[in-house]
Amino acid sequence: MARVWYVAYGSNMHAERFGYYLRGGRPPGGARLYPGCRDTREPERRVPVMLPGQLYFAEESAVWTGGMAFYDPTATGVIPARAYLVTSRQFADVAAQEMHREPGTDLDIAEVIDRGTVQLGPGRYETLVCSGRLDGLPLLTFTAPWRIEEAALNPPSPAYLRHLAAGLAEAHGWSAERIDEYLSTRAGA
């Protein structure tokens, strides 16, 4: 089974939160029950990474209410993220759950690795992005097809922000002040 880096830049930076995508269940404060992955093993590794682009908050989350985190890889800047070393099957199942689809269908990731971006559908989290490689393996994530300036910006809920803050503290060791400064200055916040 091929391995890839799933790069989380939103609430999935928080390892406990990400675990619900792997094992299934309903996260505390969340309104959605996740089916989980076919392969429920923990990631082999977790590492902090920085992605080129910008984080912004837009749309309305059915799980948390308020805006959701999205990644604009075309914008100037860098965003802190967390890379999880998973199988390509686990990545496909996490992506399916983010797209509100049933997990269980493998993704052909060769095209996104080749092109850098592949749009699987018109909605949120239906655009796959390859942001480079780490240890020879692709850094893959997903976002919306629109850029920051095209997005329906919307501030996130406190419950959602708690997961982002926990993930930034875990992955990057940031202080509460640095986390607050970063999150409060993102578009849509």
DSSP assignment of 19-73 equals HHHHH-B--TT-S--B---SS-PPPS-EEEEEEESEEEEES--TTTSB-EEEEET
Query: What is residue 27's predicted lDDT score, i.e. its pLDDT?
Result: 83
Query: What is residue 1's predicted lDDT score, i.e. its pLDDT?
Result: 64
Query: What is residue 69's predicted lDDT score, i.e. its pLDDT?
Result: 97
SS3 for 115? helix
Q: Could you tell me the residue ranges of all domains in the chain?
A: 3-184
- CA 134 to chain CA centroid, nearest Å: 17
For the 3-184 domain, the top CATH level (class) is alpha beta
pLDDT digits (tens, 9 = 90+) for 109-136: 999 999 999 999 988 899 999 999 999 9
The share of the chain scoring above pLDDT 90, in percent, equals 88
**pTM of the predicted structure, to 2 decimals:** 0.95
The share of the chain scoring above pLDDT 70, in percent, equals 99
